[in-house]
Structure 1
Amino acid sequence: MNSPLDTVSPPSAPPPPRRGSAAWFWLIVVLLLAAGGGWFGWREWQHRQAEVRAAEADADQRLEALNQRLDTMRTNQEAQNRRLVQADNTNRVLRDELHGIGQRAALIEDSVSKLADPDRHGAQAMRLDETELLLTLGQQRLLIAGDLEGARRAYALAGGVLDGIDDPAYLSLRQTLLQESAALKELGIEPRVQAMAKLDALAQGLSLPAATPAQAAAAEAPWWKRAFGVLIDVQPRDRSIATHPDDRAAALAGLQLEITLARAAAERRDVEGYRAALKRAEAWVLRLSPPSPAQQRQLAQLRELAALPLSLSVPTLGTTLQQLRQLRTAG
């Protein structure tokens, strides 16, 4: 019979440790460390990118501020230049006004010295009539006849007559006469005379051109071609240059005639007729010579002559006469 001790089985041994759980644990730890490192690196990269963007934004702001400063400096510089130009114009006006004040002071001094003269008893009305007549003659000689020298002499005589008037009421009139006389003295040669002189020089410089190679070849042609070449002349349809001596002589005569007509139009101040005659003269030049630098120079000379004015432009002409009549009417 077995004892109870015999029926009790011996205690079982503990199970061996599981290696797979430790490996998974360390794998999870490594993954966590890698995820943490990646997250930390990503945060650091984002931080650096934010710093780079902030630096770029700061650089853009500084560049924009610098451009604004440059624009402001340019604006200030332009404003300074405008102020300098305005100051220069103001100084010029002030100089002119000062010069006018000096002239007026000299005229006042002259009038006061004449007023202090006990012997000043002249026919003022007669002097004013003579002044008005001289001013009218000077203006008409310049406008009608284009006589610039005659107008200058008339104004000089009017100034001498007006100097004999002691009335201070005509002080501004004397100053106006001085300014108008100065404007006439500044004028150069009368435009109509200059245009006619250039036309005369152009007409004297014209001459028949030398024989062309075609004419020389015609001179050496056979007798039958020389005999019948006068009656029949075969040329291309698009040729407009005169090659025959008779044609060239007629074209040169037509050119001389147009220049003469232009001179006559300039003498009577007919601007339309003057320019029309020179335009027709250009056609005769094209008829006389083939395209060449000499032809272009001659055409340019004709166009330059056509652009010349035929009348003087004096904006202040007649100002003294008008002021004199107003003063006499008011008096």
Structure 2
Amino acid sequence: MTDAVAAAPPAPRRRGRAVPWLFALALLAVLGWRGWHAWQARQARSAAEAHDAAEQWRALDARIDALRRDQRAQAQRIARADANNRVLRDEVLGLGQRAALLQDSVDKLADPARRGVQALRLDEVEMLLAIGSQRLQLAGDLDGARRAYALAAGVLDGIDDPAWLDLRQALVQERAALDALGADPKAIALARLEAFTATLAPPSALPRDSQDPALPWWRRAFARIVEVRPSQRDVAVAPADRAAGYAALQLELTLARGAGERRDDAAWRSALARADGWLPRLWPLSPGLRRQRAQLAALRALPLQLALPTLGSTLQQLQAMRAAR
């Protein structure tokens, strides 16, 4: 009993030893809880920072792409601006060249030797005279040449310088020669050739005496009973030969027409001479044949060229006077 009572007091000491351990455990639990919360907060901040970093990277990539697009657009605008600058530079160079030409023209017009407006009028007179002579020589346009010379005379009358009096007299003489020409010889020859061609009917058969009103009535009456043919060997009798001869005659007349348009005297006469050779093959000797051959001979004698020795003399005199001045 005494031993049991003596052993009982040490029990409170054990409780006092457990209190610090419990306090330490509570402290550790509190620290662990705080640490866990701190770790969770750190993890959340890290996740938030990572998300922000990812958003920043995406924004940065978008900005870089936008900058690249802007750079490409800027490069295209620069290329277009360079092209426009080249075009503008070429236009400025062209304007400079035109300005230089205008300056040269103004300098020439301001030259006292050319005398400005008078020089322009003389240029116009020279151009009109050249046009008139070329219209007459190349195209045979007599009316066009007369109009051009009349315009040149009107422009020359506007120059009050007495130094050009001789030129006015020469122009008056050349205009008088043009007016004295009358109609164009080529037009007259072609018109007479057309009239001659229109009188030629296709010789389908030899002409009968009954169809000739110049014969007496008794010959025309007996011609219906008795058929008389010419004895000349050169007259074609077969219808095919006569048709071929008539076609050859028309071909020669066409060649003569073309030679007349070209004012080719040699070809004109040669074609009409060959056409004259076909007439005896188609018609027998008669007054009508002699009349046709006489018309062809008259056609061969017609001139085609314009006989105007003074053509171009005013233009030559003007060029000589301007060169001397």
Name the TM-score, length of structure 1 as normaliser. 0.55
Is 1:152 equivalent to 2:139 in the alignment? no
Structure 1, residues 146-201: CA drift from partner, whole Å, max 9, x if none? 11001000000000010111111001111111111111111111111111111111
For 2:294, the equivalent position in structure 1 comes to 300
Q: Which amino acid aligns with 1:315?
A: P
Structure 1, residues 220-270: CA drift from partner, whole Å, max 9, x if none? 99xxxxxxxxxxxxx98x601011222212211111111111000110111
For 1:22, the equivalent position in structure 2 comes to none
User: How many residues get paired?
Assistant: 194
Q: Which amino acid aligns with 2:134?
A: Q
Contact 1:212 1:243 (C-alpha < 8 Å) held by counterparts:
no
For 1:132, the equivalent position in structure 2 comes to 126
Name the TM-score, length of structure 2 as normaliser. 0.56
Aligned match of 1:318 in 298, 312, 321? 312
Is 1:204 equivalent to 2:198 in the alignment? yes
Runs (4 or more) in structure 1 with deviation over 6 Å come to none
Q: Which amino acid aligns with 1:306?
A: R
Is 1:262 equivalent to 2:256 in the alignment? yes
For 2:86, the equivalent position in structure 1 comes to none
For 2:247, the equivalent position in structure 1 comes to 253
1:59-138 alignment runs, 5 A limit: 123-138=117-132
For 1:11, the equivalent position in structure 2 comes to none
Matches of 1:281 and 1:151 in 2, distance apart? 34
| Offset of residue 212 of structure 1 | 4.1
Matches of 1:213 and 1:279 in 2, distance apart? 28
Contact 2:206 2:283 (C-alpha < 8 Å) held by counterparts:
no
CA RMSD, 1 decimal: 2.4
For 1:289, the equivalent position in structure 2 comes to 283
For 1:106, the equivalent position in structure 2 comes to none
For 1:279, the equivalent position in structure 2 comes to 273
| Offset of residue 211 of structure 1 | 3.8
| Offset of residue 213 of structure 1 | 5.3
Alpha carbons of structure 1 residues 139 and 213: separation in structure 2 relative to 1, 3 Å: closer
Runs of 5+ in structure 2 lacking a partner?
Answer: 1-114, 210-224
